[in-house]
């Protein structure tokens, strides 16, 4: 069994190929091709097969992650989309939650709806919240709506009727009429995408799915054609935002589910190696060329959420984006990557990001015409990167161009040296990430000091130790092949699907019959949506309820273990809810009645992955090959850093910083006094507490 994981990022596209029979692992990294991302996939697959002297026919499974959907929404490059809704509910997308995310902003802006008002059509029908039909569907109004949207040239149509989560019959009938009246137009029904109450979130999620559907379908068709030309005839799977994988057909039908596929995969890779290192609570830190992502992992599992927003008008303000109600790995993403551009502000201060140089033209040091100074340019000037060893020597960096960009844009206007400006860039981007991490971790009821940090991504290991020090974290783990950890995360990800049902009921009124009926209904949906290659006996289920105190507006997830009897389910749900509520809010109300808003069932089937052989059995010593002058963030001075080749470091052999550990896909910077070693699974473990004691 040969499995290939591929992750398209804003700057680089990463590949990891695993041969299950031999344990052989091949990795590759190339610049992303923004005009046609599938071209980078063709380049990577061609290179990996060339190395082995074979065609892509030898690859059994290909798992893919892409930023296509999120980019289509942010850049407004999706399909021309229409919306059919219940009469009187045409303006749900503007009305939203009727809340201002900033009460004192007199010029407050909200994201423009993906469907403008003239493309939102009303039909006559009405359902009660219980699903009872109050007014039958008037099919004449449906035909008028469809003809109107066809006349406007809509390529995709979303259907979202009031209370269709309780009774999908009217939406199903509209879907049938659409297939007859508008063949070739993509159709999205809210009862398929999100059969859950909360009208605004259900509408925005359905509309986003419809908006991205034609674009995603065309891309996946092009991708399939490219890899098929190379000889691939195996199973193509797509990484989901939830941390699981599913079929390419599922991604075509529900592109909203792959909106954050790459970041989710990186967190899974971090969770895998944290589990092997027996670290029960870690902060996964993924820094690539364009963005940095941070996510909490507890007991080897990434935290998940169902509340997610995209296309924010204001980057760090909840409520300023378009809500997407799907299961996603709970992470925070900021504009801080190797390609983040540094500039002098109007008031004479230094700012880094969120704008990025991306793959084209890229940082100045890439030699592709970029003239703006970036984080990668600063890292090169500070001595952290070897200009001749970037990507294993396949891509030579231009240090003179990096120095010129920093000098021209920053150093001379600010009246400081090039080195001072470079460290200013490095320190500011780290402080930006530290501030975001503190806010994110605190909101989860945790303290960064109680976590270890797992650093990965092309730029993550360069910045991980300094970021950890700013957070008060003592242990840093850099997984093997850290630069392509997201692509590796896809290989260890389970096949999965998440079902949801809205069933508003007081906890005291929950019966064993209700629980069994809901579970049975959702389990059948999960089996239908999972790839046909998954054996029913291999599927594991996780059942939970969205709960709140009666009258509150927000839910907390309460897990119901599989081995709990229906008779004791209510007590177990209350205990699970109170544990989560106490952690988030610091108190509970034992006398307040609880209500269940809905149920969730997560179905997953784990894929077997052999020992990946990250350690060279022939390695001896600490792999040191020389030294290089670089700037130490701990001592704030230039020092001689020992240069170590990661592949040559034997497990258990300790060495002390300042040190730079190089591998083909990433570079790890270890400050003065820190103690490092490689563990038995190939992870680089750095203890910053040793450095702290020497201060």
Which pLDDT score is estimated for 30? 87
Are residues 206 and 329 both part of a single domain? no
Are residues 450 and 308 both part of a single domain? yes
pLDDT in tens, 484-530: 888 888 988 899 999 999 999 999 998 888 888 999 999 999 999 99
pLDDT in tens, 370-385: 899 999 999 999 999 9
Identify the weakest region by mean pLDDT among 117-131, 438-452, 552-566: 552-566
Position 253 in a domain? yes
Are residues 112 and 181 both part of a single domain? yes
Position 201 in a domain? yes
Position 610 in a domain? no
β-pairing verdict for 120-123 and 81-86 = parallel
Find the helix packing angle between 460-471 and 418-443, rounded to 10°: 60
Which pLDDT score is estimated for 692? 53
SS (H, E, C) 277-333: CCCCEEEEEEECCCCEEEEEEECCEECEECCEEECCCCCCCCCCCEEECCCEECEEE
For residue 506, how many C-alpha atoms fall within 13 Å in the half-sphere facing its CB? 6
Which pLDDT score is estimated for 45? 94
Number of structural domains found in the chain: 6
Position 307 in a domain? yes
Identify the weakest region by mean pLDDT among 84-88, 416-420, 571-575, 616-620: 616-620
Are residues 69 and 87 both part of a single domain? no
pLDDT above 90 for 669:
yes
Are residues 323 and 470 both part of a single domain? yes
Are residues 88 and 137 both part of a single domain? yes
Position 614 in a domain? no
pLDDT above 70 for 129:
yes
Sequence-ordered alpha helix ranges (H) in 545-631: 569-585
Position 206 in a domain? yes
Which pLDDT score is estimated for 695? 41
Which pLDDT score is estimated for 613? 52
Position 616 in a domain? no
Confidence label for 611 from pLDDT (cuts 50, 70 and 90): low
Distance CA 101, CA 481 (A): 41
Name residues whose C-beta falls within 8 Å of residue 458's C-beta, 6 or more positions apart in sequence: 11, 12, 29, 287, 288, 289, 338, 483, 665, 666
From residue 324, alpha-carbon distances to 77, 276, 443, 520 in Å are 18, 33, 20, 26
Task: Read off the pLDDT of each residue in 315-344 and give the average, rounded to a whole number.
Answer: 86
Task: Read off the pLDDT of each residue in 110-128 and give the average, rounded to a whole number.
Answer: 95
Distance CA 659, CA 657 (A): 4
Q: Which two tokens stand for residue 493?
A: 């990800």
In 113-234, beta strands by DSSP E: 120-123, 126-127, 133-135, 156-160, 186-189
Phi-psi region of 153 (alpha: psi -120 to 50; beta: other; left: phi over 0): left
212 near 241, Cβ under 8 Å?
no
pLDDT above 80 for 477:
yes
245 or 690: which leads in pLDDT:
245
Mean pLDDT of the residues in the chain: 90
Distance CA 604, CA 63 (A): 16
Are residues 318 and 440 both part of a single domain? yes
Are residues 34 and 183 both part of a single domain? no
**Averaging pLDDT over each range in 231-235, 259-263, 337-341, 357-361, which range is the top one?**
231-235
Which pLDDT score is estimated for 163? 96
Which pLDDT score is estimated for 110? 87
20 or 325: which leads in pLDDT:
325
Position 55 in a domain? yes
Which pLDDT score is estimated for 694? 42
pLDDT above 60 for 309:
yes
DSSP one-letter code for 536:
G
Are residues 328 and 194 both part of a single domain? no
Which pLDDT score is estimated for 662? 94
pLDDT above 50 for 295:
yes
**Averaging pLDDT over each range in 7-21, 63-77, 492-506, 606-620, which range is the top one?**
492-506
434 near 423, Cβ under 8 Å?
no
Are residues 310 and 443 both part of a single domain? yes
Are residues 648 and 686 both part of a single domain? yes
Distance CA 605, CA 366 (A): 42
pLDDT in tens, 187-197: 999 999 999 99
Residue at which a domain ends, from 559, 577, 605: 605
Task: Read off the pLDDT of each residue in 449-471 and give the average, rounded to a whole number.
Answer: 94
pLDDT in tens, 143-176: 999 999 999 999 999 999 999 999 999 999 999 9
318 or 554: which leads in pLDDT:
554
Are residues 179 and 285 both part of a single domain? no
Residue at which a domain ends, from 258, 290, 322: 258
Q: What percent of the chain has pLDDT over 70?
A: 97
Which pLDDT score is estimated for 157? 98
341 near 10, Cβ under 8 Å?
no
Which pLDDT score is estimated for 121? 97
The domain containing residue 104 runs over which residues?
Answer: 76-212
pLDDT in tens, 32-85: 888 888 999 999 999 999 988 888 999 999 999 988 888 888 888 899 999 999
């Amino acid at each position: 069994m040969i499995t290939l994981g591929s992750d398209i990022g804003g700057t680089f596209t990463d590949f990891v190929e695993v041969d299950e029979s031999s344990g052989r692992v091949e990795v590759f990294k190339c610049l992303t091709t923004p005009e046609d991302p599938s071209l980078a996939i063709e380049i990577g697959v061609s290179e990996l097969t060339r190395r082995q002297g074979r065609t892509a026919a030898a690859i059994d499974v290909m798992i893919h992650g892409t930023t296509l959907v999120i980019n289509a929404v942010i850049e407004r490059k999706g399909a021309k989309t229409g919306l059919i809704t219940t009469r009187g509910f045409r303006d749900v997308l503007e009305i939203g939650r009727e809340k201002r995310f900033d009460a004192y902003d007199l010029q407050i802006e909200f994201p423009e709806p993906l469907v403008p008002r003239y493309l939102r059509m009303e039909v006559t029908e009405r359902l009660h919240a219980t699903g009872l039909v109050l007014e039958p569907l008037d099919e004449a109004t449906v035909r008028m709506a469809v003809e109107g949207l066809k006349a406007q040239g809509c390529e995709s149509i979303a259907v979202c009727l009031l209370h269709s989560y309780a009774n999908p019959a009217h939406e199903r009938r509209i879907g049938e009429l659409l297939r007859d009246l508008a063949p070739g137009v993509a159709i999205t029904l809210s009862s398929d995408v999100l059969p859950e109450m909360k009208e605004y979130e259900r509408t925005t999620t359905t509309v986003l799915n419809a908006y991205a559907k034609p674009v995603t379908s065309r891309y996946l068709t092009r991708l399939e054609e490219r890899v098929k030309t190379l000889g691939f005839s195996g199973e193509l799977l797509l990484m989901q935002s939830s941390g699981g994988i599913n079929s390419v057909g599922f991604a075509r039908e529900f592109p909203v589910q792959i909106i954050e596929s790459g970041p989710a995969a990186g967190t899974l890779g971090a969770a895998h190696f944290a589990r092997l290192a027996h670290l029960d609570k870690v902060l996964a830190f993924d820094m690539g060329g364009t963005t940095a992502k941070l996510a909490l992992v507890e007991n080897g599992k990434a935290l998940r959420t169902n509340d997610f927003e995209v296309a924010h008008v204001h980057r760090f303000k909840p409520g300023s984006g378009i809500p997407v109600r799907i299961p996603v790995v709970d992470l925070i993403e900021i504009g801080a990557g190797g390609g983040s551009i540094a500039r002098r502000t109007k008031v004479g201060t230094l700012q880094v990001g969120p704008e990025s140089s991306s793959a084209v033209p890229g940082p100045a040091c890439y030699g592709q015409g970029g003239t703006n100074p970036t984080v990668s340019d600063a890292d090169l000037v500070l001595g952290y990167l070897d200009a001749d060893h970037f990507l294993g020597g396949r891509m030579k960096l231009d240090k003179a161009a990096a120095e010129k960009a920093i000098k021209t844009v920053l150093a001379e206007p600010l009246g400081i040296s090039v080195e001072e400006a470079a460290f200013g860039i490095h320190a500011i981007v780290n402080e930006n990430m530290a501030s975001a991490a503190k806010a994110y971790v605190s909101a989860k009821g945790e303290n960064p000091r109680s976590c270890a940090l797992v650093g990965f991504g092309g730029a993550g290991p360069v910045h991980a130790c300094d970021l950890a020090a700013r957070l008060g974290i003592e242990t840093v783990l850099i997984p093997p092949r850290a630069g392509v950890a997201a692509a590796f995360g896809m290989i260890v990800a389970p096949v999965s699907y998440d079902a949801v049902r809205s069933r508003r009921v007081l906890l005291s009124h929950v019966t064993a019959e209700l629980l069994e009926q809901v579970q049975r209904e959702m389990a059948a949906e999960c089996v239908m949506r999972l790839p046909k290659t998954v054996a029913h006996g291999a599927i594991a289920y996780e059942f939970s309820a969205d709960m709140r105190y009666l009258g509150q507006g927000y839910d907390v997830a309460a897990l119901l273990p599989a081995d709990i009897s229906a008779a004791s389910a209510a007590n177990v749900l209350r205990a699970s809810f109170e544990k989560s509520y106490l952690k988030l809010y610091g108190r509970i109300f034992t006398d307040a009645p609880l209500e269940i808003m809905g149920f969730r069932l997560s179905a997953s089937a784990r894929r077997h992955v052999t020992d990946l052989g990250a350690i060279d059995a022939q390695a001896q010593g600490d792999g040191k090959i020389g030294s290089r002058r670089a700037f130490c963030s701990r001592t704030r001075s230039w020092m001689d850093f020992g240069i170590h080749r990661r592949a040559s470091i034997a497990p258990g052999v300790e060495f002390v910083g300042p040190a730079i550990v190089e591998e083909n896909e990433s570079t790890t910077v270890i400050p003065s006094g820190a103690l490092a070693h490689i563990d038995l699974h190939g992870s680089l473990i750095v203890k910053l507490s040793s450095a702290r004691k020497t201060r």
